Chains A and B, each alone.
Chain A
Amino acid sequence: MSTFSRRLRTLVATGTIVTVALALAGCGARAGDGTPGAESAAPSCVDTSGDTIKLGFLNSLTGGMAISEKTVSNVLHMAADEINAGGGILGKKIKYIQEDGATDWPTFAEKAEKLLTQDCVAAIFGGWTSSSRKAVKPVVEKHNGLFFYPVQYEGLESSPNIYYTGATTNQQIIPAMDFLASKGVKRLFLAGSDYVFPRTANAIIKLYAAKLGIQIVGEEYVPLDKDDWTTQVAKIVAAKPDFIFNTINGSSNVGFIKAYYDAGLTAATTPIISVSIAEEEAPAMGHEITGQYASWNYFESLKTDTNPKFIKSWKAYPNSSGVTSDPMEAAYISLYLYKALVEAAGSFDVDAVNAAAKKNTITFAAPEGTVTLDGENHHISKPGHIGRINANNQFDIVWSSDKFIAPDPFLKGYDWFPANVRDQLVKAAG
């Protein structure tokens, strides 16, 4: 056979395949054919006929975030066991499927899709970094699923398919700034990991600082997976701030704390206020951090009617880490909040659950106090607390908000937040 006819055959074969592929394919909806998603989402495959209901837990069990997310996963297991012991949700026992997000955002998207379409879970619980949430968001929106996200974050987001049980900015960042203003802080340095949460949180901090008359004397970022803060801390020393606002996440904190003490900084002269160091992380810093501050909605040291039982159950739980912390408490809330939503709706159906939320009557007696769900923005009310770390790596509460703070993810109630930015963000969020 001649080379020419062989080449021709190759060409024909290629052409045929491409044509067949395109012909088979050109039948989907195009832009402008109406609202995407709503009618094209496949009907839910959730099986509610038996005496169990499947839920998905999606946490990083491997990779850099595993140290934090394993605890969230374990506390979800504990909450599921508790709920099952109490009769389940609508009389159905929870059967959970645990997936590993592997600290890799596309893996979060893949596993969320698997949980929704293969395992047919009624809802997914988990995630930690904002990046993981942003990877899961389009998936749950596409399949009209539910995702319960248990960690404080940068706000400026809302989705009919996500419930947020951690703090938004006006429940953690803004209380922290109010605390700093009450301490008479004039010069503030911002140190954060280089990703969406610290960047956005600091953008908000800068706007509010201008209103409070606090000067931002520097702003430094280091990638999440890098631990060397030496040069950045040198800049902090040179800038002479009264306080450091720390939005570093994960193990990068260890490098920051080391560089901070190596440079001769101390809690007495240049204290740090953190939004990612809790009871769990404090002993892992590789250095005594007594006297440093953190802003959270829950501390193990919090005196409420419900907290002792939560602490007791967790300490007795087989995979317990020994201490309770804000993100795990928020994860604990998320499962109970889902139970309350489903029981109010009388159904596991996503639209019915969202309709039940809209009535704004869903509450849960959480360890941090009784929280109320906002049915419009899918966040919960929370108290703001500032704790100071003591020698036992527990927090002494030194400041609290006067009441539970209603969630305001788009900062609509704050006149210093530019309205045009909010409009753009709301538009971008769809």
Chain B
Amino acid sequence: MTKLKPRLSLIGIGVFAVLLLVVAPLVLTDHWLSNLGKYCCWAIAAVGIGLAWGRGGMLVMGQGVFFALGAYSMAMHLTLETAGAGVPGFMVLYDPLAPLPAFWEPFRSAAFTLLAIVLLPVIVAGLLGYALFKRRVKGAYFAILSQALAVALATLISSTIRETGGDTGLSDFKYFFGFVLEDPANRVMVYLIAAALLVVCLLVVWQLYRSRFGELLVATRDAEERVRFLGYDPATVKLVAFVLAALMASIGGAMFVPIVGIITPAEIGAAASILMIAGVAFGGRASLFGPALGAMAVGWGQSSLGSAWPEGWTYIVGLLFIVVILFLPKGLSSLLPRFTAARRSPGEQPAAGTAAPELEAVQS
């Protein structure tokens, strides 16, 4: 049983990969493929949230911050690539003679941009996580702090229109690392990169969840003090999960930019960060596929239900969230084991009622 489950999951990832990378490009129109690409970006961030929140118990309410680090790094590079040797058009508009801000300059380099997408979230999450987890900040305090950071960053970007494009955001990208973005073939390529990165992220968490680290992470979530008594440092365990989640959010953000063609503070602020969490909760935060599929479902709902019933869509999301929290606290993915009567996977939080008999069994 314990051997079978990971293998089934791996087959699941394989099927998912074939669907995303082979079937979707063949059957979907350009518009829906680019929409699916957008959902993949949210799903990448969601996989990270699943790791940090579902398995690690850290309610990361401000993943928009890391999404922004990747997205704005990428957007600055693409803006400069489009502007050529000059200064981006929007800067000329506000202050015609001002030079390019110093922090933009390195983003002319493709290599620096890619490094920034990976290293910036690692450094920021590393420092932040170290400071917080060593001081044993957790629960609601951690959630409020992370949410406040997202609000602060969105406000900062909104109020620095000359440097960051402000509320209007950065858009109108012509090239993606030398490829013409208007070319449909290149847009398929950008989609495939995003989808492949999502599959890679799923593989990474699949491997983590069955490793000793995965066990330790769940143990830290469920009984941090006991983990400490056993001689592990819960702060380090949480830090690794938090940094990985930040990295995934940054990668999702970076791919969001060439696919959607615009990034604004609204996509990274409080509401966007909460919507990411909502998708993860909806899908099932501690399961392997739940976060990704939940995020994709919320994205799809926004596109199609938002078209059919614009005024009603936000109510539907709210209602779904309430229903899921009330009746399916482990998300939609918890419905599946109910039907197949499979054993609980180690990642899922034991329900109060079922934990007691097991404990007795261990003691006897």
Distance, CA A221 to CA B90, complexed state (A): 17
Complexed CA–CA distance, A200 and B168 (Å):
13
Min distance, Cβ A4 to any Cβ of chain B, angstroms: 13
Closest chain A residue, CB of each to CB of B17? A17
Contact status A27-B185, CB under 8 Å? yes
Residues of A10-42 at the interface with B, using a CB-CB cut-off of 8 Å, are 10, 13-14, 17-18, 20-22, 24-31, 33, 36-37, 40-42
* Interchain CB contact under 8 A, A37 and B21: no
25 contacts between A and B (CB under 8 A): A14-B203, A17-B196, A18-B200, A21-B21, A22-B193, A26-B189, A33-B180, A40-B183, A61-B311, A62-B311, A105-B169, A106-B262, A106-B263, A107-B306, A109-B262, A110-B303, A114-B31, A118-B29, A118-B31, A194-B158, A195-B166, A199-B166, A418-B96, A421-B96, A428-B83
B267/A31 in contact, CB under 8 A: no
Q: B67: CB under 8 A from chain A?
A: no
Tell which of A114, A139, A196 touches B307, judged by Cβ atoms closer than 8 Å.
A114
Checking B25, B189, B196, B310 against A102 with a beta-carbon cut-off of 8 angstroms, the contacting residue is B310
Q: A17-B200, A20-B21, A102-B306 are in contact. Are A25 and B193 (CB under 8 A)?
A: yes
* Interface residues as binary, B257-297 with A (CB distance below 8 Å gives 1, 0 otherwise): 00011111011000000000000000000000000000000
A104→B168 CA distance, assembly (Å): 10
Q: Select the stretch in B170-178, B322-330, B344-352, B355-363 that faces chain A.
A: B170-178
Q: Which residues of A contact B179 (CB under 8 A)?
A: 28-31
Contact of B93 with A425 in the complex, beta carbons under 8 Å: yes
Q: Is the interface of A mostly helix, strand, loop or mixed?
A: helix
Residues of A near B178 (CB, < 8 A) are 30-31
Mostly, the B contact residues are: helix
- Contact between chains at B307 and A425 (CB < 8 Å): no
Q: How many of chain A's residues touch chain B, expressed as a range?
A: 35 or more
Query: Which of B185, B263, B267, B303 has a CB less than 8 Å from the CB of A29?
Result: B185
Partner of B93, one of A13, A109, A200, A420: A200
Instruction: Please state if B86 and A424 are interface contacts (CB–CB under 8 Å).
Output: yes
Residues of A within 8 A of B (CB): 7, 10, 13-14, 17-18, 20-22, 24-31, 33, 36-37, 40-42, 61-62, 99-100, 102, 104-107, 109-111, 113-114, 117-118, 130-131, 134-135, 137-139, 142, 154, 156, 194-196, 199-200, 203, 221, 223-224, 418, 420-421, 424-425, 427-429
- Given A110-B35, A113-B31: A29 touches B180 (CB 8 Å cut-off): yes
Complexed CA–CA distance, A13 and B35 (Å): 26
- Complex CA gap A24/B186 in Å reads 10
Which of B21, B32, B34 is within 8 Å of A17, CB to CB?
A: B21
Partner of A139, one of B83, B174, B192, B261: B261
One of B88, B166, B183, B264 near A194 (C-beta < 8 A): B166
- 8 Å CB contact of B171 from A14, A110, A138, A420: A138
| Closest chain A residue to B313, Cβ basis | A62
Choice from A42, A110, A223 contacting B260 with Cβ under 8 Å: A110
**A105 in contact with B96 (CB, 8 Å):** no
B window 112-131: CB within 8 A of A: none
Task: With a 10 A CB-CB cut-off, give which of A28, A102, A109, A111 has the most chain B CB atoms.
Answer: A28
Question: Which of the residues B38, B87, B185 comes within 8 Å of A28, measured between beta carbons?
Answer: B185
Write out, one digit per residue, whether chain B residues 304-320 have a CB within 8 A of any chain A CB (1) or not (0).
00110011011000000
* B142-174 vs A, Cβ < 8 Å mask (1 yes, 0 no): 000000000000010011011000111101111
